[in-house]
Structures are given as structure tokens and as C-alpha cells.
Structure 1
Amino acid sequence: MNPCEECLIHDKIYECCGRFPDTGETVLLAIGGNTTVIACPYLDRHGRCTIYESRPLRCRSHYCYQYSLMESGSWNQSDIITYQKIITEND
């Protein structure tokens, strides 16, 4: 299992998978019901990267703040508040 499998699709789109990093290519991705998002063409409707094992260097070297919190254990309230502040500041 790769670490990205735990991430919600909307978080992925915002954080890292909104486009293919080498070309900027995007597609409309149906994620259920009548919901579509603009995403990397290699993301499936469940939010999994279909080329994860051979993904480009820009994807492999992307620093994910959310994953760094998960590595140290489960999220606590202070982590959640910090993450929400970062998202709000970058909107």
C-alpha cells in the first residue's frame, strides 16, 4: 500500500494531484454521482495514482505536509488546526 491511499481525493486534488506535473495536463474526472473534478490524467476515480510505481520525479519528490503528520502517528487536535490554517492561508 502506498501512503497516498489514505488521502481523500479532494485533498489530493488540492495538494498534489490537480495536474500532471511534467506537462500540466488535466482531465475532468468523475468521482461519483454528478461530481467531477479537474485532476491529473493518471488519477483514478477512487483517488489512486495509476502510475504510482513509475510516477515522475516531481511526484516522487513532492513534500506532503499531511503525510508527514500521518507518519508520526494519528492526527491530534493541534495537527488538525495547523493543517486547516495552512489550507486557509493558501486559498
Structure 2
Amino acid sequence: MLDKTLFETNGQDEITLCLNYDGLYGINNVNRFLQRSNPGEAISWRAFTYKIGDPVLFNETERFRPVIYNNLKGRIVDIRHDRGWIQWLL
């Protein structure tokens, strides 16, 4: 159920799993719900919104192997953007 218990952290290495992308319990909606608790400035790029402090979970890693591996976790610490591009420091 999406309620205040979603914000109760049980550990620093915690992740939330969802069955699909869309719908009330899909990852897109859960991400928006969780991101509201991040007080950072929202940066919109294309259809996405990012904030400094947002957690990141890598799952498409072939391009950067062996530096980035599947399920590597991190946080956005800086965002730079201009027309047509965006860059994150993780």
C-alpha cells in the first residue's frame, strides 16, 4: 500500500521492487511518490525528473563493464544540463 510507511527506511542498502512500470503500484508512480520526500530542486529533462540526492540503481551495465556492474547503487550528487544534454555526477 502506498502510504507513509513507504518512507520508513529499514536500512541504508534498501531498495523497493515493483512488478511493472505503470499503474498505481508501478515503479514510475512509486518513484514520483518517493522523490517528493527529497527537498532538492527538481531538474526536468525529457519525460524525467531528477534531484540531487536521488538514489540510482544500475541495471543496464554492459556498456561500462567492469566499472559499473548490475545492481550497483549510488546517489546523484550534482546535475549539469543545457539544451539537448544532461550530465550527472554520481
Q: TM-score range by the shorter chain?
A: under 0.3
TM-score, normalising length from structure 1? 0.27
Q: Which structure has more strand as a fraction of its residues?
A: 2
Q: Which structure has more helix as a fraction of its residues?
A: 1
Which gives a bigger RCO, structure 1 or 2 (Cα 8 Å, sep 6+)? 1
